[in-house]
């Protein structure tokens, strides 16, 4: 029956239906809001009855249908979480936190002890995962259930082994849409935010990493999932390098406690993007000519580091690749985007220095670390590059301990509000880091 603890699942998701029928608690799947509308209790979305009526006069929810159809003929099966029991948990982390990380780690632990929520706003490359370890350890020893969720599956895949290594004796599970492993109960788990739709009052501590990333941001369905998945008394922890306006507003109004870590663990300032005018870059690339400003930058940056080129349009990427190849025939390069079946392989090759230049869509804006890279954002004023995306992209540079003089360049044909916003935010964090004594002068 453990499979029902803190879960809210449909009959078809249950293993031993006889046992569950006998002992499981049944919850409604949908509830009428008024005569005309009905709310799904898995994803919280309200539907117009006339649109979601089935032939048998029941209603269904189209919003969360990818997790299996919910309709009014069904019930959810659920059992409450067992009462937490104090225990000993093996903690195998031997690293040391920096002064800045330690302060955030202390804040976090204090919040969890008080069952309060908190946002951690840590600059790109600050080392945020390490700051969680002490709190996760404390929570597990209290007998709490701890979830670590991210909107992005690649972030989950990267987090899982790191957390498992720190708690080597702790059973853990990784949940995402394409997993093959059968669900089983664990006190510690890593999942995509979509998977939270299958939980109900499960977590004492729920950590949402990359809270500003797609598809979580501005998604009421996933935000409902989070509220449903936590216990009434619990701590919700948000992690981000680029908080949304909504979160910063909550912080300003003191509705959400926030810890800011404004410096990286290696005590160097964040690289501040520089801007360079690049006229009619789209037109030139379409014609098979690379803009001069771009070629010049590739040449100078490429002398010191590998180069990541962010391109706003997938359709232009192939053209761009061919043009650069002609100008630099000796340089191994590739382009990559979200639909590319060889995406992971290409990223690995860039990491292993098999490529010197990687042309990419915004898919690599976060969640990846390369040694010794500089970044060029071509058409940085394009609408796909919002402030957060530009801050994240700039954050790909100088993440490792060794300094390689990596640079960030925004090539544009008209400075956008987002570009100015990103540069301002990065400078502000650097100033704060210096003020707090977390950044050394170079």
By CB under 5 A, name the binding residues for Zn ion. Answer: 40, 42-43, 61, 63-64
Q: Tell me which DSSP letter residue 182 carries.
A: P
Closest CA to 410 of 269, 304, 309: 309
Strand arrangement of the beta sheet that strand 333-336 belongs to: 274-277, 408-412, 373-378, 306-310, 357-360, 333-336
- Which residue, 4 or 40, is less far from Zn ion as judged by CB? 40
Report strand pairing: 75-78 vs 203-208.
Answer: unpaired
Kindly list the distances between the CA atom of residue 41 and the CA atoms of 1, 199, 415, in Å, as whole numbers in the listed order: 22, 11, 45
Q: Which residue is nearest to Zn ion (CB)?
A: 40
β-strand partners of 372: none
Closest CA to 402 of 371, 431, 376, 433: 371
**Contact between residue 30 and residue 72 where contact means Cβ atoms under 8 Å apart:** yes
- Which residue, 48 or 279, is less far from Zn ion as judged by CB? 48
- Which residue, 63 or 204, is less far from Zn ion as judged by CB? 63
- Which residue, 197 or 278, is less far from Zn ion as judged by CB? 197
Q: Minimum distance from CB of 43 to Zn ion (Å)?
A: 3
Report the distance separating Cα 65 and Cα 352, nearest Å: 40
Q: Minimum distance from CB of 37 to Zn ion (Å)?
A: 13
- Which residue, 64 or 208, is less far from Zn ion as judged by CB? 64
Q: Minimum distance from CB of 416 to Zn ion (Å)?
A: 37
Exposed / middle / buried, residue 413 (Cβ in 10 Å: 0-12, 13-18, 19+): middle
Q: Tell me which DSSP letter residue 199 carries.
A: B
Q: Minimum distance from CB of 142 to Zn ion (Å)?
A: 33
- Which residue, 64 or 213, is less far from Zn ion as judged by CB? 64
**Contact between residue 41 and residue 29 where contact means Cβ atoms under 8 Å apart:** yes
- Which residue, 61 or 136, is less far from Zn ion as judged by CB? 61
- Can you give the length of the chain in residues? 442
- Which residue, 43 or 270, is less far from Zn ion as judged by CB? 43
Say which residues have a Cβ less than 8 Å from residue 326's Cβ, sequence separation at least 6.
Answer: none
Report the distance separating Cα 388 and Cα 418, nearest Å: 8
- Which residue, 36 or 283, is less far from Zn ion as judged by CB? 36
Write out the E strands in 152-271.
Answer: 172-175, 188-192, 203-208, 230-240, 257-261
Tokens representing residue 119 in the block: 């946002």
Kindly list the distances between the CA atom of residue 36 and the CA atoms of 49, 228, 329, in Å, as whole numbers in the listed order: 6, 24, 65
The region, left, alpha or beta by phi > 0 then psi within -120 to 50, assigned to residue 254 is left
The region, left, alpha or beta by phi > 0 then psi within -120 to 50, assigned to residue 143 is left
Q: Tell me which DSSP letter residue 265 carries.
A: T
Report strand pairing: 75-78 vs 118-122.
Answer: unpaired
Distance separating the N- and C-terminal Cα atoms of the chain: 59
- Which residue, 43 or 155, is less far from Zn ion as judged by CB? 43
Report the distance separating Cα 317 and Cα 159, nearest Å: 30
- Which residue, 38 or 43, is less far from Zn ion as judged by CB? 43
């Amino acid at each position: 029956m453990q499979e029902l603890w803190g879960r809210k699942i449909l009959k078809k998701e249950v293993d031993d239906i006889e046992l569950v029928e006998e002992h499981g608690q049944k919850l409604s799947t949908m509830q009428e809001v008024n005569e005309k509308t009905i709310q799904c209790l898995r994803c919280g979305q309200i539907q117009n009855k006339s649109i979601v009526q089935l032939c048998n006069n029941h209603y269904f929810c189209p919003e969360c249908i990818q997790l299996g159809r919910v309709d009014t003929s069904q019930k959810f099966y659920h059992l409450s979480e067992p009462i937490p029991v104090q225990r000993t948990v093996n903690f195998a982390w031997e690293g040391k936190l920096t002064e800045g990380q330690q302060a955030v780690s202390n804040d976090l632990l204090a919040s969890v002890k008080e069952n309060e929520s908190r946002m951690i706003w840590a600059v790109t490359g600050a080392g945020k995962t390490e700051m969680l370890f002490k709190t996760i350890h404390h929570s597990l020893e209290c007998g709490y259930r701890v979830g670590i969720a991210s909107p992005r599956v690649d972030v989950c895949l990267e987090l899982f082994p790191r957390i498992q290594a720190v708690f080597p004796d702790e059973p853990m599970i990784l949940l995402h849409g394409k997993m093959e492993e059968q669900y089983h109960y664990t006190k510690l788990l890593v999942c995509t935010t979509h998977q939270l739709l299958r939980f109900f009052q499960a977590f004492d501590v729920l950590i949402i990493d990359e809270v500003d990333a797609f598809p979580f941001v501005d998604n009421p369905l996933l935000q409902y999932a989070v509220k449903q998945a936590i216990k009434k008394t619990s701590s919700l922890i948000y992690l981000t390098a680029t908080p949304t306006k909504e979160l910063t507003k909550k912080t300003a109004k003191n509705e959400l406690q926030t810890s800011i870590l404004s410096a990286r663990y290696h005590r160097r300032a964040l690289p501040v993007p520089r801007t360079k005018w690049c006229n009619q870059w789209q037109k030139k690339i379409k014609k098979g000519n690379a803009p001069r400003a771009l070629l010049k930058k590739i040449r100078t940056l490429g002398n010191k580091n590998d180069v990541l080129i962010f391109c706003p349009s997938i359709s232009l990427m192939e053209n761009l690749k061919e043009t650069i190849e002609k100008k630099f025939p000796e340089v191994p390069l590739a382009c990559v985007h979200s639909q590319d079946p060889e995406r992971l392989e290409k990223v690995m090759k860039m990491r292993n220095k098999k490529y010197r230049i990687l042309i990419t869509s915004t898919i690599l804006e976060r969640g990846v670390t390369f040694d010794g890279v500089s970044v060029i954002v071509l058409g940085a004023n394009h609408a796909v590059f919002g402030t957060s995306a530009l801050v994240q992209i700039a954050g790909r540079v100088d993440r490792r301990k060794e300094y390689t003089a990596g640079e960030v360049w925004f090539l544009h044909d008209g400075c956008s509000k987002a570009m100015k916003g990103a540069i301002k935010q990065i400078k502000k964090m650097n100033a704060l880091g210096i003020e707090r004594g977390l950044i050394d002068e170079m």
